[in-house]
Structure 1
Amino acid sequence: MHTFTASSSLGASADALFTWHSRPGAFERLTPPWAPVRLQSFEGIEAGDRAVLRIGPGPLAVRWVAEHYGVEPGRQFCDRQVQGPFSHWEHTHRFTPADDDTGGATLTDRIEYEPPGGALGRQAAPWLEAELRRQFAYRHRITRRDLSLHQQYNPDDRSLTIAVSGASGLVGSSLVPFLTTGGHTVKRLTRSGPTGADEILWDPRTDRVEADKLEGIDAVIHLAGENVFGPWTPAKKQRIYSSRADGTRLLAEALAGLDDPPEVLVSSSAVGYYGDHGADRITEESAPRDAGFLGEVCEAWEAAAEPAAAAGIRTVQMRTGIVLTPAGGALRLMLPAFWLGLGGRVGGRHQYFPWITLDDVIGGIYHALWTDALEGPVNLTAPRPVTMQAYTDTLADVLHRPAFLNVPSSVVRTVGGEMADEMLLTSARAVPQRLQDTGYDFGASALEDGLRHVLGRTAD
C-alpha cells in the first residue's frame, strides 16, 4: 500500500475550509486544468454521498465512483473509490486549527492507494507519486487564493444572487464554481429552454428574455459570445458581431427596464478594441488604432451595454487579453507542438502579447463586482505584457523543450487570413491600469509564474 500526504497552512479557519469544500463547485475548482477529468455528478460530502467522474482522454476515459464517509463537520471528510481504475483508494481531507490565535488552519490531504495493474502498476508508482504532488500543490494554491479573495471582498460572507451568461464557456465554467464555493447563488442565462430554477431564458436569436426572473438579481456577469477562432467567413463574422452587440443590447435593455435592477453589470470586451499599437503602452485611455473587424466588434459590444449604464446600473467592460490555460484558448492550441519539441514563435519577434491567467480573469471580474470605483472600460490583462519572442522562450523553458520552428508573419497571414492577421499578428502592450489603481492584487504578474501555475510546473 502506498501513502501520499500533502499539507499546507492556509489563512482561513478550519470551519471556513470545510464549508468551502462542502459547497457546489469545489470539485471543479480543485481539478487542475491539465487533468483529463470530467465530473458527471456530485451529491455532496455527507456520509454516503457519491461523486461520479470520467478519468482519461475522450473514448479512453474510465468511470470513477467515489463515496464519502468519515465526516466530522468543520474538521474532516473522506472518500473512497467504489468503482474505478485503482486497486485501492482512500482519501482523507483534514482541517486542523492552528495552535496560536491567528485563526488559520492546516489543510492535509492523505491518500492510501494501490495502483492498478499489479507488478506493472507498482513500477509506475514513482510517476504517480510525482503527479499527485503536482496536482495537490495546485489544489492547495487554488484553495488558498479563492478563500483569500472571498475573505478580502466579502468579509461578512454576504450571499449574492448573480446572473451569468456564457456559464459553460472557458471563463464561465471556472467562474461559476468560484462564485458558488464563495456562497453565492448563480442563475445561468441560457439561450435554450431553461430546465431548472437556476436558469433564465435569454435568447438574442429571438429577442426573448425572461426579464421578470431578473428582478432582484444583485449582479450580472455577461460573458457570452461566438468563439472567434476559426476561418472568418462572412457568416462567421456576422455571428461574432451579432452574438456580442445584439446579445448585449438585449440584456442591457432588459436590465434597464427592471423595477429592481442589479447594482452592477460586468460585461466582457477585449483588447482587440485597441488594434495594433506596436510597442506603445496601452491603458484604458488609449484610442483605437487600425483596429479592424475586432475593433469594430468591441466598439459595438461596449456601446450595446449603454442602456444599463443610462439606467444607473454600474457598468464595467472588461477588455480581456489572451487567457492562459491548458483547458482551452491559445495555450491549448500551442501546447502539442511545444511538447513535441516543434514549437516556436508565431509572427513577429517584437509584437506584444497581452496575456493573463484564467485565475486572474476570475479574480479581476470578482474585483470589478465589488469595487464601486470601477466603471466603464477596464483592461483585464497581466501587468507585465511580453513580446512574442519572450513568451515563446518562457513557455519553452517551463516545458524544458526547444522552440526553434518559428512561423513568419507572412505564412501566418497566408494560412489564417483575416482572423490570423487580427488575432495573432496584432501587437497590444495593454496594461491593467485601472485594476492596479483600485488595488487588485494579481496572482501572477510575471509570465513564468503564470505559466508554471496553470501547467502545474511549480516548485511547491
Structure 2
Amino acid sequence: MKFLIGGGTGLIGRSLVSSLRSTGHNVQVISRKPKEKNDLSWDSIKKNGLPSDVDVIVNLSGRNIGEVNLLFFIKENYYSYIEEVFTSRIDTTKLLVDLSKSAPIKAFINASAVGFYPPDLQTTYDESAPPRDCNFITNLVNQWEDAAQIPSRPDIRQIQLRTGVVLSKDSHFIRTVRHVFPLGFCNPIGTGRQWMSWIHLDDMVRIIEYVSDLERVFPSGPVNCTSPKPVQQVTFAKAMAESLGAPMNIFSDAPIPSFLFTLLLGRDRATLVLDGQRVIPRKLLNAGFEFKYPDIADALENIFGRRPRS
C-alpha cells in the first residue's frame, strides 16, 4: 500500500516509516523540511494537493506539548508556544481533511490523545466515553478530533489514535526522567495516585499498522492506544527506579510537590503529570490485538535491560 505520513520525523513517525518500509509498503513523509527525495513539504501539499496514488493517510503532526523551556517564563513566549501546540495539530489536520474529501484514499488515521478523557481516579475509560470539556487538555483534544472528521466520506476508514504516554529509549518522557531517577529522586509526583496510561513504542507502531490494514475489518472512530494495564504514578516511579538501578533515597516516600510542575509547565499543562486517566484499549482487545508489552515491567525491561522486581 501507499502511505502518506504527516509528522513522519517525530518519535512515532520515524519508527512507523521504518517498519512500513521494511514490510514493502511505499511511504512518503510530509514535513516542514523534507529530507528524502520523494518526501513532501506542507507547502507543496497546500499548492499541489495529495499524490494521486495514496491509500492511507496517517497524520501524527504536532509540537511536543510537554516542553520545558526557561523562555516560557516570558508570557509572550509561552502564549506563542501554546498557540503552536494547537495550530501544529489542528491546522495540519484540517488541511489533510480538506484535501482528502475528493481524494481516492481508503483510510484517514489521525493522532489524538488520552487527554480526551477528564482526569479521574475512580473511572475506567474506554472509547464509549462521551466528550467533556473540563480543562486545557480536553479542550485541545476535542478540537483536534473534531477537525479530523470527514463526514462526506463514510466510505473510508477514519481512526483517531488516543495515545497514552509513549515509552521508548528515545521518548522525551523517558529521556527526562532517566536523568532524575539515578540521583535517587524516585519519589511519587504530587499524590502519586494519578493514573498513567502508557504504551510501548513498538506496540504503538503495531497498532497503527493493525488499524490501517484494509484487509482487516476494523470500525472507524477513536481507538485507545494504551497498554491494557495502566499503572498509578507511584507504581511507575518505583518500577522505573528499579529498572535503572537507582538508589532509593531516604525521602523516597515523600511526594515531589505539585507546585514545582505548575511552575515548570504552567497551570494548564501541569495536569499532564499531576492528573491522569485510567484508560483501557477496549476496541483493540475486542478485535483480538495482542500487545507485545502489556505490563510495565515488560516494557521497562525491554527499554533498560533490567526487569523491575515488583
TM-score normalised per structure 2 = 0.88
After TM superposition, list the pairs within 5 Å mapping 1:310-349 onto structure 2. 310=153, 312-349=155-192
The counterpart of 2:2, out of the listed 149, 156, 161, is 161
Match for residue 138 of structure 1? none
Alignment of 1:86-101 (within 5 A): none
> Distance between the aligned counterparts of 1:454 and 1:357, measured in 2?
9
Query: Is 1:172–2:13 an aligned residue pair?
Result: yes
8 Å CA contact 1:355–1:385 kept in 2: the answer is yes
**Cα pair distance change 1:291/1:333, threshold 3 Å:** farther
Partner of 1:426 in structure 2?
A: 275
**Which of residues 263, 271, 284 in structure 1 aligns to 2:106?**
263
CA deviation string 1:121-148 (max 9, x = no partner): xxxxxxxxxxxxxxxxxxxxxxxxxxxx
Matches of residues 33-182 of structure 1 in structure 2 within 5 Å?
A: 160-182=1-23
Aligned to 1:393: 238
Contact 1:228 1:240 in 2 (8 A): yes
Whether 1:186 aligns to 2:23 is no
Q: Which has the higher strand share?
A: 1
Contact 2:164 2:198 in 1 (8 A): yes
Unaligned runs of 5+ in 1: 1-159
- Normalised to the residue count of structure 1, the TM-score between the two structures is 0.60
Partner SS state of residue 187, structure 1: strand
Give the C-alpha shift of residue 394 in structure 1.
1.1
Q: Distance in 2 between matches of 1:355 and 1:212?
A: 33
Q: Which residue of 1 aligns with 2:92?
A: 247
Identity of aligned residues (%): 29
SS at match of 2:274: coil
Return the letter of the residue paired with 2:79. P
Task: Return the match for 1:282 from 125, 131, 137.
Answer: 125
1:381 partnered with 2:246: no
User: How far apart, in 2, do the equivalents of 1:218 and 1:402 lie?
Assistant: 50
Q: Is contact 1:272–1:295 with CA below 8 Å preserved after alignment?
A: yes
| Aligned with residue 255 of structure 2, among 393, 406, 409 | 406
Partners of 2:171 and 2:235 in 1: CA distance:
21
Report what 1:223 is aligned to.
Answer: 60
CA RMSD of aligned residues (A): 2.2
CA distance in 2, matches of 1:409, 1:367: 38
Between the aligned partners of 2:300 and 2:48, the Cα distance in structure 1 is: 41
Q: Distance in 1 between matches of 2:207 and 2:108?
A: 14
Gaps of 5+ in 2: none
Compute the displacement of 1:397 (Å).
Answer: 1.9
Q: 2:40 aligns with which of 200, 208, 227?
A: 200
Kindly provide the CA deviation profile for residues 104-132 of structure 1, in whole angstroms up to 9, marking residues without a partner as x: xxxxxxxxxxxxxxxxxxxxxxxxxxxxx
Q: For 1:246 and 1:239, how far apart are their aligned partners in 2? A: 10
Aligned residue for 1:318, secondary structure, equals strand
Q: Is the 8 A contact 1:273 1:291 kept in 2?
A: no
Q: Which amino acid aligns with 2:247?
A: P
Offset of 1:290 from its aligned partner?
5.5
| CA deviation map 1:15-36 (0-9, x unaligned) | xxxxxxxxxxxxxxxxxxxxxx
Give the total of aligned pairs: 294
Using the alignment, how far apart are the partners of 1:309 and 1:433 within structure 2?
27
Kept in 2: contact 1:279–1:351 (CA 8 A)? no
Is 2:202 the partner of 1:364? no
| Corresponding residue number in structure 1 for 2:115 | 272
**Aligned AA for 1:372?**
V
Q: 1:416 to 1:305 in 2, by over 3 A?
A: closer
Query: Which deviations, in whole Å up to 9, do the C-alpha atoms of 1:196-252 show, x marking residues without a partner?
Result: 55212324xx98253252x12111111011111234822111111111111101001
Residues 328-370 of structure 1: per-residue CA shift (max 9 Å, x gap): 2211100011123233222222110111111111011111111
Moved over 4 A (4+): 194-197
1: CA distance, partners of 2:286 / 2:47: 36
Partners of 1:410 and 1:200 in 2: how far apart? 43
2:222 match: secondary structure: strand
Q: Tell me: higher relative CO, structure 1 or 2? Use CA pairs within 8 A at least 6 residues apart.
A: 2
SS of 2:28's equivalent in the other structure is strand
